[in-house]
Amino acid sequence: MSETKRTHLFSAFSEDYFRTISPAGLRQRIGLCGLNYPGCWDTKLNPADGILYYAPSEASGRATHTRLVAYDYDSDSARICFKSEEIVLPMPRQMPVTKLHESLTFLPDGRIFCTTHTTDRAPQQPEWMPFAHHSHIWEGWPGSTMICYDPRTDAVENWGVPVPRETIYGATYDARHNAIYMIGFMRGHVYRFSIDTRRVLDLGKVAEVFCYRLHVGPDGHIYGCTKSGYLWRVNVDTQKIEDLNWRVPAYPGNYTNNTWYRYMSYANNVDDRTFIFTPVFADEIYTFDTRTLRVESLGRKAPFDDLVAELPTALGINEFSIDREGVLWYPLTVYQFQKSRDDHRLYALPDYLMRWDYLRGAEPECLGAIGTPGYLHGQTSACAIDKLRDRLFLVDSGGGKEGLSVLAIDLAQFRPRRHERGAVATDPRFYPRPMTPEQARAFHKRGKAIEEVTQDNPFYAFPIENVTPIRLWRHVPHTAIEESKVIGLVWDEAQVLHGLCGDRTRYCFTIRDRQLASFGPLDEAGPAYRDWLLDACDPARRPPLADPPPLPHVAGRQYLARPSAWIDWNGGRMIVGTRDGLLAIIKGRNVFALGNAAPYGPVRSLCTNPARTRLWGTAGDDEDMGTVFYYDDTVGLRQLGFLVYNIHGYFDGPSASNVLSSIAVSPDERMIAVGGADRIGAIHLATLN
């Protein structure tokens, strides 16, 4: 559908826009257990007894720790199952335990597994900075904790931290092998925790940056999708990641899907081979056949393109559920990522309840704004149906000062009266009010800096507007994604970038004008070119540094004061990086220490301009974020930052590399290229100012 013919449902802020769903069978509870937490991103319904478990969350700077709450519809009562700070024992200066995030899962014996997550700043910090604090022992995040809770006895067990410094963003249970699978927020790795052996296995980087949904398909394997939209699964028998060679498509006019969010937000199995899944902002809902490995479109999620004509909005599905008749129910959550810079008003956006009886050929129908007239939902994160008792639960993550809303709907009462709309909402949070001058200034300053992208403390190595990512992992055979790991890079005099990548098989490639120009097996290249490329890019071909003088060290770690990278510098000098991340200039036996090039070592790669007056390098442990740094004799040594890009409107989805194996500057000093040796290998090209 062309942008010129886009359809919409309402006029913004009209009576129809604010008309609520039918009150038939509806029960709303706000701030249960006296908790005024406004958000929630982890909910699980127990089908055996109908109890809803959820973890209220806070991310407004109050450094409030989450709880696990159980709501019993039959008795209309709620209780706190545990307080996270009593299980994890967080230190006062560290990032708070603000959430459980998409990790609640039932074990066969009825116990509940979950993992902690953080999305808020510590009290002394100006804003939430998870990437910047990855290396800060005291004020960062020590790592998510695995928690096991027994509803029968209220016993709670701390199972430890599976991945230091990483915060777990999603988890699920592998019943076939009694194991937990988890995915990390910052580095996108998948981890397997064996409940039997208590061992953790890192399966590698599967996503550029945070995506959370891990779905156990009807075949027992675990499915997910990168934020850039590529579908994959964990084969639980081989414990390997398998790329499924399908991507969520781009859609005309769908800004958020096309430039930012394409991950799988939720999935439900419908038979012994098929599941339905929702890419969060896609126009369509899809099915996946686990036997044929084929994706098919179920159809468009809404019979309109945009909610309103007057405001640019993104229509997302965070979760959906299927009732006893096979009908889909889902909140259509409305986001405004493209708010006009001239719109100096504050207002929340309502969510809308959708129902789709696709089995009987009906189209999706919008049933009204979710909530009650006095309290609307502003971001519905959870949708669950108790099929046995015919109840729908919707949990809000955009609550007001009273706390989040748990909305329960008796579908037997609601279903026949679903077209009888409720009253027009009066909730003042959703009606526009003018910004104060201070709020307007903050609005313009913040710009696109949302979620983990900080406005005052940016962490990326190069400005995103100067960067072009090249996803090498989409050019190797999809059955061997690991072959995309970048080994080395080199520019020629024509400003063409040449590179070497591979794991078990080696490939060579060229990049011209910010686009991949050629890619193929190294064995098929000519002998002269192959030798030139290997000499320039293969670290194994470089002889060791002969008889270096004693290099600087971190106190007590002299054993790591060994050269890991080196390059000639002007004036007959050499710059050397160590296995511990330190940098030094040497001339003869004289050593001038420059300090830490990065929080962690080793220094992996160095490059200079032709005059050898400007130096760039990469450093970092295999398990950290990876750092790009710069040095010259005038400004000294500067840490530039990470290659983690997750801002809408620039690329066709996020891009990130953490194991920064190589760096090369073009002869004209206009471009720099950084290669990533993660499982999903990529090149990031940046224009130099």
The answer on 558 and 422 residing in a single domain is no
Q: Give the β-pairing of 328-335 and 314-316.
A: antiparallel
**495, 668 in Cβ contact below 8 A?**
yes
pLDDT of residue 1 exceeding 50: no
* pLDDT (mean) for 673-682: 99
Q: What sign has the CA pseudo-torsion 289, 295, 300, 301?
A: positive
The CATH number of the domain holding residue 222 is 2.130.10.10
Q: Select from 384, 412, 446 the last residue of a domain.
A: 446
Question: Does 291 map to a domain?
Answer: yes
- DSSP string of 68-106, one letter each residue: EEEEETTTTEEEEEEEHHHHH---TTSPP--EE-S--EE
The answer on 532 and 427 residing in a single domain is no
* pLDDT (mean) for 187-211: 98
The answer on 468 and 439 residing in a single domain is no
**What is the DSSP-derived secondary structure letter of residue 311?**
S
Number of domains in the chain: 2
Question: Does 456 map to a domain?
Answer: no
**H or E element, residue 118:** none
**143, 163 in Cβ contact below 8 A?**
yes
Predicted confidence at residue 452, as pLDDT, reads 59
Q: Select from 414, 446, 478 the last residue of a domain.
A: 446
Question: Does 394 map to a domain?
Answer: yes
Q: pLDDT of 218-266, one tens digit each?
A: 999 999 999 999 999 999 999 999 999 999 999 999 999 999 999 999 9
Of 58-62, 164-168, 298-302, 536-540, the least confident:
58-62
**628, 674 in Cβ contact below 8 A?**
yes
Tokens 């990855």 label which residue?
A: 134
Which residues, listed in sequence order, are joined to residue 71 by a DSSP beta bridge? 52, 78
Question: Does 457 map to a domain?
Answer: no
Question: Does 459 map to a domain?
Answer: no
Domain extent at residue 190:
3-446
Q: pLDDT of 556-574, one tens digit each?
A: 999 999 999 999 999 999 9
Question: Does 617 map to a domain?
Answer: yes
pLDDT of residue 449 exceeding 70: no
Q: Mean pLDDT of all residues in the chain?
A: 96
**What is the DSSP-derived secondary structure letter of residue 400?**
B
Neighbouring residues of 245: CB distance < 8 A, sequence distance ≥ 6: 231, 478
Q: pLDDT of 517-557, one tens digit each?
A: 999 999 999 999 999 999 999 999 999 999 999 999 999 99
The answer on 113 and 67 residing in a single domain is yes
First-residue to last-residue Cα distance in the chain: 40
Nearest-Å Rg of the Cα atoms of the chain is 26
The answer on 677 and 562 residing in a single domain is yes
Among 191-205, 299-313, 428-442, the range of highest mean pLDDT: 191-205
Q: For residues 81 and 67, what is the distance between their CA atoms, to the nearest angstrom?
A: 7
Q: Select from 387, 412, 446 the last residue of a domain.
A: 446
Q: For residues 467 and 532, what is the distance between their CA atoms, to the nearest angstrom?
A: 28
Q: pLDDT of 454-471, one tens digit each?
A: 678 889 999 999 999 999
The answer on 249 and 155 residing in a single domain is yes
The answer on 631 and 658 residing in a single domain is yes
* pLDDT (mean) for 673-684: 99
Predicted confidence at residue 3, as pLDDT, reads 47
The answer on 187 and 71 residing in a single domain is yes
**What is the DSSP-derived secondary structure letter of residue 522?**
G
pLDDT of residue 295 exceeding 60: yes
**234, 469 in Cβ contact below 8 A?**
no
The answer on 218 and 77 residing in a single domain is yes
Q: Pick left, alpha or beta for residue 572 (phi over 0 → left; psi -120 to 50 → alpha; otherwise beta).
A: left
Task: Compute CA distances 439 → 128, 338, 679, whole Å.
Answer: 19, 17, 43
The answer on 420 and 484 residing in a single domain is no
Predicted confidence at residue 453, as pLDDT, reads 61
Query: Among 329, 331, 332, 352, which Cα is nearest to 415's?
Result: 329
**269, 217 in Cβ contact below 8 A?**
yes
Predicted confidence at residue 22, as pLDDT, reads 99
Question: Does 455 map to a domain?
Answer: no
pLDDT band of 21, cuts 50, 70, 90: very high
pLDDT of residue 4 exceeding 70: no
Amino acid at 373: P
Question: Does 664 map to a domain?
Answer: yes
Neighbouring residues of 292: CB distance < 8 A, sequence distance ≥ 6: none
Predicted confidence at residue 446, as pLDDT, reads 75
The answer on 489 and 386 residing in a single domain is no
Q: pLDDT of 146-161, one tens digit each?
A: 999 999 999 999 999 9
pTM of the model: 0.97
**618, 678 in Cβ contact below 8 A?**
no
pLDDT band of 2, cuts 50, 70, 90: very low
**444, 455 in Cβ contact below 8 A?**
no
* pLDDT (mean) for 269-286: 99
Q: Pick left, alpha or beta for residue 536 (phi over 0 → left; psi -120 to 50 → alpha; otherwise beta).
A: alpha
The answer on 83 and 35 residing in a single domain is yes
Q: Give the β-pairing of 636-641 and 627-632.
A: antiparallel
Predicted confidence at residue 683, as pLDDT, reads 99
Q: Pick left, alpha or beta for residue 515 (phi over 0 → left; psi -120 to 50 → alpha; otherwise beta).
A: beta
Long-range interactions of 198-206: CB distance < 8 A, separation 24+: 200/162, 200/163, 201/239, 202/163, 203/234, 203/239, 203/240, 203/241, 204/241, 204/482, 204/678, 204/679, 205/658, 205/678, 205/679, 205/680, 206/232, 206/241, 206/679, 206/680
* pLDDT (mean) for 393-409: 96
**152, 174 in Cβ contact below 8 A?**
no
Helices (H), 199-261: 255-259
Phi, psi (degrees; rounded to nearest 5) at 464:
-60, -30
Phi, psi (degrees; rounded to nearest 5) at 87:
-100, -40
Q: What sign has the CA pseudo-torsion 405, 377, 252, 341?
A: negative
Phi, psi (degrees; rounded to nearest 5) at 88:
-95, -30
